Chains A and B, each alone.
Chain A
């Protein structure tokens, strides 16, 4: 399952080239026993809350760091494609392989939105205020769904291959999309107007995020190059090379001072690759770690640490990269 997250942003970007070189590092680990095997994990960024999908077709809302189960939500059986939490963890979205997308209030377990897409979803990410869900069926145009009314208030233009990744600016005025057609596009969320477009990538950007300043975008994918792009003009202000694998997730820390980068082992996506945390201002690498097994998800926690989840039988292992 691919996991998409809404992400905060940051200040100045002076990133250095990221090289996925091995370093000796073992992060602190905690273990949460669950009634069934966990298959996906997402983490709220402003409250100590996580959500796990387990193999018995449940979303389990957990408190952190103790892993106490707060709520259980039944989901349709079968494979899923999109799973995300709002920043405060009060909303969860899950999209299954039949194209059904549901939003729940995690405090009550009540379903607040139920949508059917043309086919299975490729992107589902909440705005920072939790009022908008950016949603797209795989290969289709991105819709901006008003969560309160469960209606589409804007549809972004269809582009070839659809949207591979999306992230809102911190003020939710803009959304950046990595297109299957290899372009990085920034849209105004009020009316879906195209603000800027960058076509310098040769391969599809698989990961995008807005920096905290709201003016800068980071995008990366199969090119193994991280592009730092001016959101207003689409112009590349910095090109960071040297990675040996494609980043497939980038996410700024809640305070915007660090950037988490998850690399894809392109020759075998079932095996883990490096997860790197860098200081966004200096580019200094703070953490470089390869999980023992393929992670099922993670994200920045409310206390500013990148948390990564792996699975051993019915146990969720939470690794805090600090």
Chain B
């Protein structure tokens, strides 16, 4: 039987992966943080009608690095409320989502407040899909005053932000219920 030598540390699967894709860069890692809580409810409406804070709509798609949309990927998200408080006793502002057709996901929330001890507003993600490495990351907002309008330059003000890619543009729109922030956050998982 012949042997295909690819060089040290390079597997055939990796080589094939490189050849076929390299179309999408994996979403940068960010730490899980201390307040992850499993068994979150399956819901996309985190914001309740009387909740204070700027309405926040987040939408995106889940892909692998080959550019394949991952229908059925699971996303667990958790965040502080408008006042910067995490719910440790229940599941407010915690949810589990399943990516739909085209890997699409979306949820309705409020812009998280600044949690004392952390620099920036953020939403935690834990994303899993068969055949892919689990991803923990965090979503940040370009409108966060901490960035002084220049997140590319100032994202390192929060030492936990590993990449400016995690700071996403925010579009403020008018709705009958008042102003709302729309954010798109695409997730790209590494193949396992």
Contacts and interface: CB of A to CB of B under 8 A. Distances in A.
Interface of A: 79, 97, 119, 122, 138-139, 160-162, 164, 180-182, 202-204, 206, 221-224, 246, 248, 264, 266-271
Contacts of B39: 202
A190 to B, nearest CB: 28
Contact of B117 (A164, A181, A182, A269): A269
A160 B162 contact: no
Interface in B94-150: 116-117, 126, 128, 134, 136
A266 B35 CA distance: 9
A222 B136 contact: no
Q: Which of A97, A162, A223, A266 has the most B CB atoms < 10 Å from its CB?
A: A266
B159 interface: yes
Contacts of A268: 116-117
B32 A139 contact: yes
B88 interface: yes
Contacts of B36: 161, 180, 182, 203-204
Given A160-B134, A203-B37, A270-B116, A97 B88 contact: no
Given A139-B136, A224-B88, A266-B86, A248 B31 contact: no
B73 to A, nearest CB: 14
Contacts of A270: 116-117
Contacts of A267: 85, 116
B88 A203 contact: yes
8 residue pairs, one from A and one from B, having the closest CB atoms: A161-B32, A269-B117, A268-B116, A180-B32, A203-B37, A160-B134, A138-B31, A270-B117
B116 A269 contact: yes
22 contacts: A97-B159, A139-B31, A139-B136, A161-B32, A161-B136, A162-B31, A164-B34, A180-B136, A181-B38, A182-B37, A202-B37, A203-B36, A203-B88, A204-B34, A204-B36, A206-B34, A223-B88, A246-B88, A264-B34, A267-B116, A270-B117, A271-B116
Contacts of B34: 164, 204, 206, 221-222, 246, 248, 264
B18 interface: no
Chain B, interface size category, equals 20 to 34
A182 B32 contact: no
A164 B35 CA distance: 11
Contact of A162 (B32, B38, B86): B32
Contacts of A266: 35, 86, 88
Contacts, number: 65
Given A161-B36, A271-B116, 4 more contacts: A139-B32, A206-B34, A223-B88, A270-B116
Most A Cβ at <10 Å: residue of B35, B39, B162: B35
Contact of B37 (A122, A160, A206, A222): A222
Contacts of A269: 116-117
A25 B29 CA distance: 44
B35 A203 contact: yes
Contact of B32 (A97, A204, A264): A204
A305 B117 CA distance: 29
Nearest to B35: A222
A267 B83 CA distance: 10
B134 to A, nearest CB: 5
A139 to B, nearest CB: 5
Q: Which one of B31, B34, B85, B126 has the greatest number of beta carbons of chain A within 10 Å?
A: B34
A246 B159 CA distance: 24
A268 B36 CA distance: 17
A223 B39 CA distance: 13
Contacts of B126: 160-161
Nearest to A199: B38
Interface string B19-39: 000000000010110111111
Contacts of A202: 37-39
B64 to A, nearest CB: 18
Nearest to A140: B29
B104 to A, nearest CB: 23
A2 to B, nearest CB: 10
A203 B126 CA distance: 14
Nearest to A2: B34
Contact of A182 (B38, B128, B134): B38
A119 B162 contact: yes
